[in-house]
Structure 1
Amino acid sequence: MTGGIGVPACVQCGTHSNPCRCKFVGPTLGFLAFVVTAIVEWPVGALVYCFRHTKGRRIMAHPAAVVYPCVSNKIPI
């Protein structure tokens, strides 16, 4: 039995940003950027949340609200 780690792949169909109407590279790189950012920002946000609730929530939401859409939308394929 062999085991391995699969490569995360995201596909977004129905988009109008390219002629194929499917995106593969942008969403996949967006997801990887989201994971890297979340590893750093979620613990920091949890610590800040103990003292400043609104600021902590904003820090923890940053990867999903800003990083993923920004990276995903910059790459049209």
Structure 2
Amino acid sequence: MGLCVQCGTRSNPCRCKVVGPTLGFVAMVVTAVVEWPVGAVVYIFKHAKGRRIMGHPATVVYPKVSRCIPI
């Protein structure tokens, strides 16, 4: 497992984040394992809704978890 590093942030004095982006990535992967198959089935009937479900881990889960942890 690798580390995700985000530099240039103003949320801490070091201006780099490691823990937040890494946990955000893990949360995104766990969520994607559940939501992508569900989104694929929904996509068959409703394209826009299926796309929104499959994009949820990257557009909502990762940013929220990454922002919550400032280090």
Structure 1 residue 31 corresponds to structure 2 residue 25: yes
Structure 2 regions of 5+ residues with no counterpart?
none
1:47 match? 41
Question: Considering only aligned residues, what root-mean-square deviation do their CA atoms show, in Å?
Answer: 0.5
Q: Which protein has the bigger helix share?
A: 2
Moved over 4 A (4+): none
Aligned length: 71
- How far apart are 1:8 and its partner, in Å? 2.3
- Output the CA distance in 2 between the equivalents of 1:53 and 1:15: 36
In the superposition, the TM-score normalised over structure 1's length comes to: 0.90
What percent identity do the matched residue pairs reach?
76
- The structure having more radius of gyration, on CA atoms, is 1
